Amino acid sequence: MAPSETRLAETRLAETRLAAIRTLLADAHRKLGLRLGFVLWDGSRVPSEWPADGLMIQLADEGVIASLVRRPKPDTLIKLHVAGRIEAVNGTIFDIVAARPEGKVTRAIRGVSKLAALNVIRHFWRADRGPPSVLDRIAGDEIDRDGKPATNKANVAYHYDVSNDFYKLFLDPEMVYTCAYFTEDHGDIARAQRDKLDMICRKLRLKPGDRFLDIGCGWGALVCHAAQHFGVEAHGVTLAEEQLKLAEDKIRRLGLEGRVTLHLRDYTQMEGQFDKIASIGMFEQVGIKNHPAYFQTVNRLLRPRGLYLHHTIARRAKKTDRAFARMSAEYRALVRYIFPGGELDHLGMSITSLERAGFEVHDVEGWRENYQRTTYLWWQRLNERRAEAEALVGADKTRMWLLYLAGCSLAFQRGGAFINQTLVSKRNKGPSGLPFTRADLYS
């Protein structure tokens, strides 16, 4: 075939593919009652009359459709979005979700023309899918959860050693990377994180002279707060080297040397006895099969009648353990691309494990709405400083983190994820030493 004939055939094929996807999207828009439009790689909009300033999903190239045709899974959508090949126009992911059709989407999709769908599959099946995603470099579904110190360190480094400067873009001044606590309806993340640190210390009944351990101490916010405001001897253990450097700088700046000590080691390697222990947002990375060893370690480190605050994200329990063990596409993406080694239990599993390990449960408090707002504020702050984030870690990783924060916020909003604070004591005969009521915590 002559070059001119080849070019003509390619042009006709491109036009045929555009016509096929326009037909399918127009039919889907009409039958699903979508409140958003689409903009294709040639600049055309579907529906054609959709306003240029309206909410749209932009498809960057025909390889987007080819990828979805060959692998129609959420993982494909994630990779395409992270690569910048699927984007929201004139809105955000929250606007896209809000514009979803009412009711069961899978049921509504059945009404979309099967002939139009088959036509798209036929014309895009052999189309070039485009460049690989940076996420393709990440190993498949084999997730390291053996609980060994070296594995734990590698998993933690993947997430937390991105860059301290990156996390500074969206966290509060104290660099608290766990659920904030909103004592009333407000959007001040710094205030909410201070209130969270204070609530943790009050739940643990910290007092001068207590020996306090924070498992997974992050950038040192809790240990510094506890030493400054409650007079404890505070210890923090972490595996994140970048976090440790910043936390040690903070301790020196605040003049807390001798009152706050940080340990760069696995929690299983800690020694000594502590009056109070907290684990705030670290337990999710332990792995379910390692839970017995984790709780045994906490029990070993805690003095009799000592208090332990267990703060962790949880999933909803299912009818059977087998059903619970199945990972949704969104959950699998989270542990593959964001938190390698991470695994969530359910509240009942945590409580059972705590009791089996020799603890008495005193309080359980759900903070789901608090984390919904926290992750939304993080997303909002990072989105506002997107250009700075891209300069630090690249556009792909920035899109990945924005998607992760938005996805978490939506999961907590819908009740797909939960977070609980469970206060326990090391079981011992006789009084627990706690007051009869918890009224003072909320006065």
Q: Quick check: is 179 in a domain?
A: yes
* Residue 44 included in any domain: yes
321 shares a domain with 299: yes
Tell me how far apart the 2 most distant CA atoms of the chain are, in Å.
93
Task: List pLDDT tens digits, range 3-35.
Answer: 666 777 788 999 999 999 999 999 999 999 899
Residue that terminates a domain, selected from 136, 169, 188: 136
Please write the tens of the pLDDT for every residue from 248-289. 999 999 999 999 999 999 999 999 999 999 999 999 989 899
Q: What is the pLDDT of residues 75-101, one digit of tens each?
A: 899 999 999 999 999 999 999 999 988
Predicted confidence band at 235 (pLDDT cuts at 50, 70, 90)? very high
Reference 340, options 82, 179, 153, 132; nearest CA is 153
Identity of residue 21 = I
What CATH number did the domain enclosing 232 receive? 3.40.50.150
Q: Give the integer Cα–Cα distance in Å for 265 and 216.
A: 10
**What pLDDT digit, counting tens, does each position of 328-387 carry?**
777 777 777 776 667 899 999 999 999 999 999 999 999 999 999 999 999 999 999 999
Q: Are residues 105 and 66 in the same domain?
A: yes
Instruction: In whole angstroms, give the CA distance from residue 394 to residue 17.
Output: 32
Catalytic residues: 408
Q: Do 92 and 224 sit in the same domain of this protein? A: no
Same domain, 357 and 221: yes
Predicted local distance difference test score (pLDDT) of residue 331: 75
Which of 73, 101, 136 marks a domain boundary?
136
Beta partners for residue 418, in sequence order:
314
Number of domains within the chain: 2
The Cα 122–Cα 329 span in angstroms is: 26
- Comparing CA positions, the residue from 341, 405, 329, 399 lying closest to residue 134 is 399
Question: What average pLDDT does the segment 102-115 reach?
Answer: 77
Q: pLDDT tens for residues 119-154?
A: 999 999 999 999 988 777 665 444 555 556 655 555
Q: How far apart are CA 149 and CA 282, in angstroms?
A: 14
- Tens digit of pLDDT for each residue in 33-52? 899 999 999 999 999 999 99
Q: Which residue has the tokens 């998993």?
A: 155
Share of residues in the chain with pLDDT > 90 (%) = 75
Claim to verify: residue 175 and residue 88 sit in the same structural domain: no
Residue 144 lies in a domain: no
Nearest Cα to 401, choosing from 184, 152, 169? Answer: 169
| Structural domain includes residue 366 | yes
CA dist 390 and 314 (Å) reads 31
Residues 185, 103: one domain?
A: no
Average pLDDT, the chain: 90
| 406-428: average pLDDT | 94
Q: Within a domain: residue 415?
A: yes
Which of 109-123, 174-188, 328-342 shows the lowest mean pLDDT across its residues? 328-342
The confidence score (pLDDT) of residue 2 equals 62
In-domain check, residue 12: yes
Q: Residues 161, 123: one domain?
A: no
Examine the fold and report which residue of 136, 157, 192 is the final residue of a domain before the chain moves on.
Answer: 136
d(Cα 124, Cα 185) in Å, to the nearest integer?
49
Residue 248 and residue 279 in contact, taking contact as beta carbons nearer than 8 Å: no
Residue 141 lies in a domain: no
Q: Which residues contact 301 (CB under 8 A, 6 or more apart)?
A: 213, 270, 272, 273, 274, 277
For residue 143, being part of any structural domain is answered with no
Q: Give the structural domain span for 104.
A: 3-136
Tell me, yes or no, whether 271 and 300 share the same domain.
Answer: yes
d(CA 210, CA 226): 10
Q: Which residue has the higher pLDDT, 327 or 341?
A: 327
Shared domain for 29 and 159, answered yes or no, is no
Assess whether 400 and 299 both reside in one domain: yes
Whether residue 398 sits in one domain with residue 351: yes
Q: Are residues 286 and 372 in the same domain?
A: yes
The encoded tokens of residue 70 equal 């060959």
pLDDT at 409 over 50: yes
